[in-house]
Structure formats: structure tokens, C-alpha cells
Structure 1
Amino acid sequence: MHPLKEYFRITAELIHLLDDRNTIDRDKRLVIIDEKLNEREELMKAIQPPFSEADEELGKQSVLLDKKLMMLLQKEKNSIQQDLANTKKKKKVQSGYINPYASLQTDGYFYDKKK
């Protein structure tokens, strides 16, 4: 298959995967997305001129899909970062319940210098 057509197809698949979040769990989806991005990167290297008019039109459509893909990947990244922040916050709160005196400050103690 022509590399540009394959590139377009894989980009469309990635957009579909990122749009449809409920079909498979996040870990499996991220593995698939990583594989598709690697395939897509290899195809980018294989796309070489000269281009026909149909190839140029497909290239323009690919650029539009790339913009949408980048937006969806950014949303996914933000979602993962938010989950990591929430997990760190929960871990800190939970450790506060386990050992509530660990975070006490030691300032203000009276030290007797006499012996």
C-alpha cells in the first residue's frame, strides 16, 4: 500500500481510539496507541515526493487529521497527569492517617542549657 494512504489510515485509527475511551481499558489502549504511533513514524520516513494531485489532497487531509490527533493526545496526557496528581494526593492523605505525628514540626522546643 502507498505510504501516504497507510499514514492516513493509521492516523484515522488513532483518532478513533482516542475518541472512543470506553471500549477498552486505558493501559491496553495506551499500548495500542504507542504501537500505532511508532508505525506512523516509520511511514512518515517512507513518504517521498513527487506527489500526484490525489496524494496532495490526501496530504492536506492528513494535516487536518494530525491537528485533531495532537489535540486528542494532549487531552489524554492531561488526563494521565491529573490521575497521577490525584494518586499522589491520596497517598499523602493516607499516610497522614497511618502516622499522624510524622508531619509535626520540631520548632519551638525549649532546650535547657543547664546541667
Structure 2
Amino acid sequence: MIRQSLTSWKTITEQLLRILHVMEEDKRDIVIEQIDTLLNEREALQTSIHAPFTEGEQLFGQALLPLEEELDSQLKLFRKAIRSNISEQQKKKVSMNAYMDPYSQVFRDGTFYDKKK
């Protein structure tokens, strides 16, 4: 007999993997909220999962390990994509500001430059 908390853990992990595999760019905020909710549920379940484990539960846990590794790698990829998008947006903002005001970065050292030739 496998505990309900372990089966719930597996179900939530599978839901997380499905969400991460089918993620769409335009619905990223919704996906982040769903991931956060599911990770909080997993965290709440973690307190109810403790030793001693039966032999069936140990086998079930061994079957969960590949899922956990895949989830970890998918979450890292998701976080990396978000970070790269943020850095791209920051670069665009800086370049847009430089385009709008090209003389904002010119250092003024007190010298006078005559514009007449």
C-alpha cells in the first residue's frame, strides 16, 4: 500500500512536466502562477513523506527519481529562458534610450568644442 502523499507527489510532478513541455510564450504569466501553485502543493506534501517506508513505497520512490531529474532540468531551462528574456529586454531598453538621446553618454570634461569649421 502506497501512501496518498506519495501518489499525490507523483501526480503533481507529472502535471508540472506537462505544463513545462507545452508552455507558450504569450501565456507565460499564467504558466508561472500554475508552476508556483504546484510547487507550493509539493512543498506541503513533503512534510508528510517520511520514513519508515514499505518495500512498495521504496520501489515507487525509485520510479519517481527519473521524473524528479527531468523536472529539475525542465525548471532550470525555464528559468534560463526567463533570465535571457529579461536581459534581452534590458538591452533593448538601453539601446532605445541611446537612440532617443545619443548624447546622454558623452562625457563632458569641461573643454569647449567649437562646432564651426
- Could you state the TM-score of these two structures normalised by the residue count of structure 1? 0.87
Indicate yes or no: 2:73 matched with 1:71: yes
Asked if the contact 1:18/1:73 (under 8 Å) is kept, the reply is: yes
> After the TM superposition, which of the residue ranges 21-30 and 39-48 deviates more from structure 2?
21-30
Indicate yes or no: 2:51 matched with 1:49: yes
Aligned-residue RMSD, C-alpha? 1.8
Alignment correspondent of 1:38: 40
Aligned residues: 110
SS at match of 1:75: helix
5+ unaligned residues in a row in structure 2: which ranges?
113-117
Alignment correspondent of 1:87: 89
2:47, 2:27 → 1: CA distance?
31
- Structure 1 residue runs of 4 or more that deviate by more than 4 Å after TM superposition: none
Asked if the contact 1:8/1:58 (under 8 Å) is kept, the reply is: no
Tell me how far 1:88 sits from its aligned partner.
Answer: 0.4
5+ unaligned residues in a row in structure 1: which ranges?
111-115
Identity of aligned residues (%): 30
